[in-house]
């Protein structure tokens, strides 16, 4: 069943606080094969003007996967069939890099729903802010929920 476009603009409650840790940053950098010193070495990050090691640009996928995906999957009114869900696209717009020690929250907003040939294209924004409300990054994603006969 196609998603209802009336959900566009719906915003889910803000997540609990997530503390960005050095170990998580290092593990993520290792998992993507990126050995940039600013992801591992505090001195290198500080020499570049950062307060601590910074996260690779795609690190917010962790926050998106943990919080935003849970928001939509666990919303029975939205009706996302997880078995038919395909990740279509992802983007990140930064105000500044995420740093070790940042305490952030995620607020998920449904930005778009487009139905084509029974397939639902779900556009999401994950607004990632410090706990005092300063925007750090906006992650955008397009998910496709395939039609039942696809």
Task: Find out whether 109 and 87 touch, Cβ atoms under 8 Å.
Answer: no
Is 9 exposed, middle or buried, given 0-12, 13-18 or 19+ CB atoms closer than 10 A?
Answer: exposed
Percentage with pLDDT > 90 across the chain: 94
Write out pLDDT tens, residues 107-133.
Answer: 999 999 999 998 999 999 999 999 999
Q: Is the pLDDT of residue 150 over 70?
A: no
**DSSP reduced 3-state for 27:** helix
Write out pLDDT tens, residues 18-44.
Answer: 999 999 999 999 999 999 999 999 999
pTM of the full structure: 0.92
Q: Give the separation between CA 78 and CA 91, rounded to whole angstroms.
A: 23
Task: Find out whether 42 and 26 touch, Cβ atoms under 8 Å.
Answer: no
Write out pLDDT tens, residues 59-96.
Answer: 999 999 999 999 999 999 999 999 999 999 999 999 99
What local confidence, expressed as pLDDT, does residue 26 receive?
97
Q: Give the separation between CA 108 and CA 105, rounded to whole angstroms.
A: 10
Task: Tell me which residue has tokens 């020499």.
Answer: 47
């Amino acid at each position: 069943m196609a998603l209802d476009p009336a959900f566009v603009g719906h915003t889910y409650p803000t997540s609990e606080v997530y503390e960005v840790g050095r170990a998580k940053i290092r593990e993520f950098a290792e998992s993507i094969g990126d050995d940039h010193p600013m992801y591992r070495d505090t001195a290198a990050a500080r020499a570049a003007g950062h307060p601590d090691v910074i996260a690779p640009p795609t690190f917010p996928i962790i926050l998106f996967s943990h919080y935003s995906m849970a928001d939509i999957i666990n919303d029975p009114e939205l009706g996302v069939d997880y078995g038919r869900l395909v990740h279509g696209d992802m983007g990140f717009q930064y105000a500044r890099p995420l740093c070790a020690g940042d305490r952030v929250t995620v607020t998920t907003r449904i930005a778009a729903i487009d139905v084509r040939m029974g397939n639902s294209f779900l556009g999401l924004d994950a607004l990632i802010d410090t706990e005092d409300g300063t925007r750090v990054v906006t992650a955008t994603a397009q998910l496709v929920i395939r039609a039942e006969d696809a």
